[in-house]
Amino acid sequence: MNERPVYDVCVIGAGIVGCAVARELSRYRVRVLLVERGEDVGLGATKANSGIVHGAYSSAHGTLKASLCRAGALMYPRLNGELAFGYRRTGALVLAFSPEEKRTIADLAANGLANGDDDLQLLGAEQVRRLEPRINPEVQAALLCPSVGVASPYEMAIALAENAIANGVELRLASEVTSLSLDDQRDGSRFRLVAGGREAAARFVVNAAGVYADRVASFVGEPGFRIVPRQGQYVLFERGTGAAVSRVIFQVPSARGKGILVTSTYHGNLMIGPNANDVEDPEDEGTSLDVLGHIVATARRSLPDFDLRQALTTFAGVRATSDTKDFVVGAGAVPGFINAGGIDSPGLTSAPAIAERVRDLLADAGLRLEPRPEFEPARRPIIVPKSLSDKEVVPLLEAPGPGRIVCRCERVTEGEILDAMSRGIPVRTIDSVKKRTRAGMGKCQGRFCRPRVAAILARESGVDDAEAIRAYEQHLASKSRALTRLVRMGAWSGAEAGTAIKP
């Protein structure tokens, strides 16, 4: 007798793509397993990116990137209305500082129009300065893309996964798929997999394994693509600093990517980056002084006067760039195996549209999609708006019950943390609490709330609190070293605008 659980679909990888696919499939009467090697959802490229909902103007016409970016971006307002993960339409400017760059933005506008961006405008210097008074006055022109927005990427993955689980999807964390083989059974399953040491069987498999998508595809044959990991580093500033710009500010793109941008995050932190360097290690999330120095100097070309002393932290993400130079979304080597790999930028923007495409590919491959009338599209937000003054916070720091403030900087209450821990995804690390509630994201970077969060994890989930703190501090260490050195170099004043920082 075969006692392995049999799923209609197994989705490998719970980044933004895997979570979006799982949530899309949860609309139908299908049994879905979402497996993830990490301790949480959204821990790959999804946790460390610019968070921009891009226009399609910078993706080559005729590519999957161009069509899925445009389709995905259009889905954001509705999706955020349902799932409340945090999205705001801001618009974007691509700045031109020379006649040659002016020609480039005109080309981008033509490409954007061909890709469906029908609201692009070319602006003169004076118009640009009026829209963004703090940007470099040497700007000569800009391309305005009003439909661009900012989103909170890891909150979006969490929201999609929570909603998928609420609609019947099964999630297994800390479950790396180490083996996947063909195994036709009488129950209709075609794939046998081992994830986190446990076996399962599935009729269809979706490969959304990010930087390891080529490896996962190779389990069942020739992958047909190779992932080239491409790293990008960032500097993130205190909350409130994002008000320096109203839009996402790009410079003209290069062959390697969209270049270094200046933006406010969804939560109002100024953020600058990323570079684009190929790396050997697909999980290389370290930051380095020379790269950060280059990012600071390049960002000052757009916004000369940001204050580096307000920098909170640095971080890096790794793009799963495919050697095919496009997303790889299609049927794989064997029937029933669907790739959603090579999803570098604009993968966050495209994820909702990738999910619909994967759904259609599964249907083409024979998956019967019968809608579930009880599908519930809505999910409540975790973070609630705060307006407490510093004085009002003090008595609440030791208040009993859910109103107790655990994180002083971001005013996160115990109630919010308990809510975040009771939504179907096991929350077992300080970092997972931070991503859901913002506890630890403020000026003190968790020095105050870390032991308090660890104590709640210990009380509610039996997590060893000392171990949780140790793991979290290890995770922070490399970032704060690079940041301290960067700030010490004295690279903060507006007077140094445009000067290169030498490591």
Ligand X SMILES: Cc1cc2nc3c(=O)[nH]c(=O)nc-3n(C[C@H](O)[C@H](O)[C@H](O)COP(=O)(O)OP(=O)(O)OC[C@H]3O[C@@H](n4cnc5c(N)ncnc54)[C@H](O)[C@@H]3O)c2cc1C
3 state DSSP class of 462: coil
Asked whether position 33 contacts ligand X by CB under 6 A, the answer is no
Applying CB under 6 A, which of residues 162, 238, 344, 419 lies at the interface with ligand X? 344
3 state DSSP class of 235: strand
Q: Which is nearer to ligand X, 336 or 442 (CB)?
A: 336
Of the candidates 141, 160, 131, 151, the residue with the CA atom closest to the CA atom of residue 54: 151
Asked whether position 59 contacts ligand X by CB under 6 A, the answer is no
Applying CB under 6 A, which of residues 9, 16, 362, 454 lies at the interface with ligand X? 16
Q: How far apart are CA 299 and CA 307, in angstroms?
A: 12
Applying CB under 6 A, which of residues 26, 49, 80, 189 lies at the interface with ligand X? 49
Asked whether position 216 contacts ligand X by CB under 6 A, the answer is yes
Region of 12 (left: φ > 0; alpha: ψ -120 to 50; beta: rest) is beta
Of the candidates 174, 169, 119, 141, the residue with the CA atom closest to the CA atom of residue 7: 169
Asked whether position 274 contacts ligand X by CB under 6 A, the answer is yes
Please, are residues 486 and 314 in contact by the beta-carbon 8 Å criterion? yes
Residues 6+ apart with CB under 8 A from 467: none
54 is catalytic: yes
Q: Which is nearer to ligand X, 49 or 241 (CB)?
A: 49
The one segment of 344-352, 373-381, 384-392, 427-435 that binds ligand X by CB under 6 A: 344-352
Please, are residues 178 and 342 in contact by the beta-carbon 8 Å criterion? no
The one segment of 30-38, 118-126, 185-193, 284-292 that binds ligand X by CB under 6 A: 30-38
Smallest separation (angstroms) from ligand X to the CB of 389? 34
Per-residue binder mask for ligand X (CB under 6 A), 311-330, x = binder: ------xxx-----------
Residue owning tokens 């490229």: 45
| Positions of E strands within 100-211 | 121-124, 141-145, 149-151, 170-172, 177-182, 191-195, 198-207
Per-residue binder mask for ligand X (CB under 6 A), 397-436, x = binder: ----------------------------------------
Q: Which is nearer to ligand X, 215 or 485 (CB)?
A: 215
Smallest separation (angstroms) from ligand X to the CB of 103? 25
Q: How far apart are CA 117 and CA 109, in angstroms?
A: 8
Smallest separation (angstroms) from ligand X to the CB of 183? 18
Asked whether position 336 contacts ligand X by CB under 6 A, the answer is no
Q: Which is nearer to ligand X, 175 or 413 (CB)?
A: 175
Residue sitting closest to ligand X (CB): 347
Applying CB under 6 A, which of residues 9, 10, 11, 12 lies at the interface with ligand X? 12
Asked whether position 242 contacts ligand X by CB under 6 A, the answer is no
The one segment of 50-58, 372-380, 404-412, 471-479 that binds ligand X by CB under 6 A: 50-58
Please, where are the H alpha helices in 115-251? Answer: 125-131, 153-166, 213-218
Max intra-chain CA distance, the chain: 75
Asked whether position 343 contacts ligand X by CB under 6 A, the answer is yes
Q: Which is nearer to ligand X, 173 or 457 (CB)?
A: 173
Angle between helices 16-25 and 153-166 (to 10 degrees): 30
Q: Which two tokens stand for residue 120?
A: 């692009």
Q: For residue 454, what are the β-bridge partners?
A: none
What are the Cα distances from residue 481, in Å, to 48, 314, 356, 452? 18, 9, 42, 24
Smallest separation (angstroms) from ligand X to the CB of 316? 7
The residues in 76-135 that bind ligand X, with binding defined as CB under 6 A, are none
Asked whether position 172 contacts ligand X by CB under 6 A, the answer is no
Question: What DSSP state is assigned to residue 59?
Answer: S
Q: Which is nearer to ligand X, 353 or 405 (CB)?
A: 353
Please, where are the H alpha helices in 440-488? Answer: 450-461, 465-488
Number of residues that bind ligand X (CB under 6 A): 40
Asked whether position 209 contacts ligand X by CB under 6 A, the answer is yes
Of the candidates 338, 337, 341, the residue with the CA atom closest to the CA atom of residue 322: 341
Smallest separation (angstroms) from ligand X to the CB of 283? 9
Applying CB under 6 A, which of residues 44, 293, 332, 446 lies at the interface with ligand X? 44
Residues 6+ apart with CB under 8 A from 131: 93, 123, 144, 246, 247
Smallest separation (angstroms) from ligand X to the CB of 156? 10
Region of 224 (left: φ > 0; alpha: ψ -120 to 50; beta: rest) is left
Q: Which is nearer to ligand X, 209 or 270 (CB)?
A: 209
The one segment of 163-171, 203-211, 376-384, 400-408 that binds ligand X by CB under 6 A: 203-211
Q: Choosing from 54, 61, 294, 475, which is the catalytic residue?
A: 54
Asked whether position 18 contacts ligand X by CB under 6 A, the answer is yes
Summarize as ranges the residues that interact with ligand X (CB under 6 A). Answer: 12-18, 35-38, 43-46, 49-52, 54, 176-177, 208-212, 216, 232, 274, 317-319, 343-349
Catalytic machinery residues: 54
